[in-house]
Chain A
Amino acid sequence: MSAINLRLGAFAAALALLAATSSGAFAQKKYDTGASDTEIKIGNIMPYSGPASAYGVIGKTEEAYFRKINAEGGINGRKINFVSYDDAYSPPKTVEQVRKLVESDEVLLVFNSLGTPPNTAIQKYLNSKKVPQLFVATGATKWNDPKEFPWTMGWQPNYQSESQIYAKYILKNYPNAKIGILYQNDDYGKDYLKGFKDGLGAKAASMIVLEESYEVSQPTIDSHIVKLKSSGADVFFNITTPKFAAQAIKKNMEIGWKPVHFLNNVSASIGSVMKPAGFENGQDIISSQYFKDPTDAQWKNDAAMKAWNEFLDKYYPEANRADASVMYAYIVAQGLVHVLKACGDDLTRANVMKQAASIKDLELSGLLPGVKVNTSATDFAPLSQLQLIRFKGENWERFGEILSGDVGG
């Protein structure tokens, strides 16, 4: 009996000694798998190959940003070890890769994995393993659901709240509009469409004269534009990805269709949409933004833009600066760094979620002035503010207030 007590006592003393010597202080250090005194292991899944490989640049930019953080001393002295795998945008492969991350690489959390179908495929698994699925790279509305999925958190303003903003704008300014819609036939297009109809409310049925969908595999969308023109629509809601958005803008001009043109934020890029489509064809197009378009000349001397350029020069010189994804990744990577810093020495998965869910008015380099990150235990939608913009000359002109539209999941 006494012998056992003695042993336990010695053990406790040894533990105390260990804690004291390893940290030099008595601060509580708590770690889950994937974190240690020297390292934080972050997992990520991107479509580096396959049909969505255009987005692979997000993973590459994040990797570069964490190299910068590490070169500047890391997070509270710990280096970020960023493990990023390719899923080719195929959900079964995403499941395989996330299991590799969690069970073999033993990451602390999975960060900014891309795409709605891939993220849906791994959501249940990560939640049952209690591994944070932090800041997913999709604008679907369903990620803001802390009750059902307390380990999953979105990031960007979701598609539904964005299209509700357009709907409200149309109701106010063009109450008698005849609306034609072109949308991509997948989760992203349908989400926008739903938000838009919800926003129009009871008037949706009478205002929308034509809904056209296209498949990503189509070479052109010309025939849809022809059909939309002959439907007599005078307001056009363009829910397309950059290539098709540019085609639509150009085709509208070619066939002489000049509706009031609303373009989704996905394609609101000067460098990768408006310029290829031709500036003269894109005048007066209305869209919305939450971060600065790096190809917009109005930000040329902006401090955030300079910092961004310096970062790219040093850590990712081959990056294409006309690609909005590079800016997107730069901002979301800052978001993760903020959360990890806030965790202090308590790098447990629970604390990561707790810190991620208590962000107050955080401003990140690259966001539009006035757009802030906010979360709470019941609000898992970090960014939910947008500002309307209109294309004038060769720039986006912001107008109106910073709008927020939180649609729950």
Chain B
Amino acid sequence: MELFTNQVLAGIATGAIYACMALAVVMIYQAIDHLNFAQGEMAMFSTFISWQLMQWGVPYWWSFLLTLAISFAGGILIERLLFKPLAKAPVLTNVAGFIALFAIVNSVAGLTWDFTIKQYPTPFGSAPFLGSQLISTHQAGMIGVTLLMLVGLYLFFQFTRIGLAMRAAAALPESARLVGVNTSWMIALGWGMASAIGAVAGILIAPVVFLEPNMMGGVLVYGFAAAVLGGLSSPLGAVIGGFLVGVFENLAGTYIPGVGNELKLPIALALIITVLVFKPAGLFGRAIVKRV
């Protein structure tokens, strides 16, 4: 029983990582209606920027804010320079663009900061949280920030004009244009916000997994899985999905005899696909009715 509780707690701690990333995934999906394969790499790059700022002597919170601003601007810049020209190209060509972006960002980070791991500081400390050694204060802080971002996103999409316009632009671009929404800039704004949220995710994840150019590769797979499980249109679903994936993966690894440990990830993915078969829009996603 103790092992069970421990694995669930460890799963929640790891799940916080996935939830963070899943939020960024949902953000970009809301804005452009696709998944961005380069998102993890962009988050990694943002984290390196903040690390570099700190190396140059900028205090933690200043570098945090600066990085958010740089990432926001960087996201918009990438959209304007690289993906706006592809707006009329087929969807799959855009996906190829994401892959190209992935290769570029990863390679440039590798050359600039090389591949040895770097320690990344945390503002929350890493003492045991509430007496439990399984969740550190950093991980608790990470869960807190994730929930804060969740509330923020909810309010943004539900109650602000820009948030509503952005949703309209992604879901029904033509109708949105008719009512005066500048859909092109909505997409750019979505890129900027997704990039900034990704930066927060990277900064929170780096103290746990250590900073290096390949740190987000695995995280992004789990982030996608979490977002899809929860429903790509729902930030709440994405966060819950993240925790579910984290906990389930640990339990599968611990309790399924024989192959559980070797096949943790495949088993978790198989479960997600099973869920999708019964709930094709994810646990919390909106069902989509198609018509001709």
Chain A residues in contact with chain B, CB under 8 A?
Answer: 49, 51, 53-54, 57, 185, 212-213, 215-220, 222-224, 226-227, 230, 242-243, 246-247, 250, 254-256, 271-273, 275-276, 278, 320, 322-323
Chain B, Cβ-Cβ closest to A51: B214
Most interface-central of A216, A219, A275 (chain B CB within 10 A): A219
| CB-based contact A243/B212 at 8 Å | yes
Number of interface residues of B (CB under 8 A): 44
- Cβ B10 vs Cβ A276 within 8 A: no
Interface string of B132-144 (1 = CB under 8 A from A): 0110100000000
* 9 CB < 8 A contacts A-B: A53-B110, A53-B213, A54-B214, A218-B264, A222-B10, A226-B7, A254-B136, A255-B133, A256-B133
Q: Is B115 an interface residue (CB 8 A)?
A: yes
Q: Beyond A243-B210, A243-B212, A247-B210, is A226–B134 a contact (Cβ under 8 Å)?
A: yes
Binds A, one of B29-37, B171-179, B182-190, B215-223: B215-223
Top 3 A-B pairs, shortest CB-CB distance: A54-B115, A276-B119, A272-B116
Q: How far is the CA of A254 from the CA of B264 in the complex (A)?
A: 24
| Alpha-carbon distance A53/B126, docked complex (angstroms) | 31
Q: Which residues of A contact B10 (CB under 8 A)?
A: 222-223, 226
Interface of chain B residues 195 through 245 with chain A (CB within 8 A): 205, 208-210, 212-215, 217-219, 221-222
Mark interface residues in B253-290 (1 if CB within 8 Å of A CB, else 0).
Answer: 11000000110110000000000000000000000000
A255–B114 CB distance below 8 A: no
Q: Does B107 contact A (CB under 8 A)?
A: yes
The answer, among A185, A216, A220, A271, for a CB contact under 8 Å with B262, is A185
Contact yes or no, A247 B253, CB < 8 A: no
Shortest CB distance A39–B (Å): 29
Q: Which residues of B contact A278 (CB under 8 A)?
A: 119
Q: Which residues of B contact A53 (CB under 8 A)?
A: 107, 110, 115, 213-214
Give the one of A53, A216, A242 with max B CB within 10 A. A53
CB-CB contacts of B21-46 with A at 8 A, as 1s and 0s? 00000000000000000000000000
CA–CA, A256 to B136, complex, Å?
A: 12
Partner of A220, one of B2, B208, B221: B208
**Across-interface contacts of A213 in B (CB, < 8 A):** 261-262
How many angstroms between the C-alpha atoms of A224 and B103 in the bound complex?
Answer: 31
Cβ of B89 under 8 Å from chain A: no
Interface centre among B116, B133, B222, B253 (most CB of A within 10 A): B116
Of all chain A residues, the one with the shortest Cβ separation from B116 is: A272
State whether the Cβ of B14 lies closer than 8 Å to any Cβ in chain A.
yes
Are A219 and B265 in contact (CB-based, < 8 A)?
Answer: no
On whether A220 and B114 interact (CB within 8 A), knowing A212-B261, A230-B6, the answer reads no
Residues from chain B with Cβ under 8 Å of A272 in the complex? 116-117
B6 near A57 (CB under 8 angstroms)?
no
User: Is B123 located at the chain interface by the 8 A CB criterion?
Assistant: no
The residue on A at minimum CB distance from B219 is A219
Nearest Cβ on chain A to B191's Cβ, whole angstroms: 24
Q: For the complex formed, measure the closest distance between the CB of B22 and the CB atoms of chain A, giving whole angstroms.
A: 13
Indicate if B150 sits at the interface (CB-CB under 8 A). no
Q: Is the CB of A222 within 8 A of B13?
A: yes
Residue in A223, A226, A250 whose Cβ sees the most chain B Cβ within 10 Å: A223
Please measure, in the bound complex, the distance between the C-alpha atom of A336 and the C-alpha atom of B182, giving whole angstroms: 64
* Pairwise interchain contact B2-A230, C-beta atoms closer than 8 A: yes
A214 to chain B, nearest CB (A): 9
| Apart from A243-B117, A243-B210: 17 A-B pairs, beta carbons within 8 A | A49-B103, A51-B214, A51-B217, A213-B262, A215-B265, A219-B218, A223-B10, A223-B14, A226-B10, A230-B6, A246-B117, A254-B126, A255-B133, A276-B117, A278-B119, A322-B116, A323-B116
Whether, in the assembled complex, B3 has its beta carbon less than 8 Å from a beta carbon of chain A, the answer is yes
Whether the pair B265, A217 counts as a contact (CB closer than 8 A) is yes
B17 at interface (Cβ–Cβ under 8 A)? yes
CA of A269 to CA of B107, assembled, Å: 24
Interface check B11, CB cutoff 8 A: yes
Q: Is the CB–CB distance between B254 and A217 below 8 Å?
A: no
Bound: A188/B53 CA distance, A: 37
How near does chain B come to A179, taking the closest CB pair, in angstroms? 17
How far apart are the CA atoms of A230 and B10 in the complex, in Å? 13
Once bound together, how far apart are the Cα atoms of A255 and B13, in whole Å?
13
Q: Is B118 an interface residue (CB 8 A)?
A: yes
Complex contact B6–A226 (CB within 8 A) = yes
Query: Does A217 lie within 8 Å of B221, measured CB to CB?
Result: yes
User: Which chain A positions have C-beta within 8 A of B152?
Assistant: none
Name the residue in A49, A222, A254 with the highest tally of chain B Cβ atoms < 10 Å from its Cβ.
A222
Q: Which residues of B contact A256 (CB under 8 A)?
A: 133
Which of these, A220, A247, A254, A276, contacts B133 with CB under 8 Å? A254
CB neighbours (8 Å) of B114 from chain A are: 57, 320, 323
Interface string of B72-115 (1 = CB under 8 A from A): 00000000000000000000000000000001000100100011
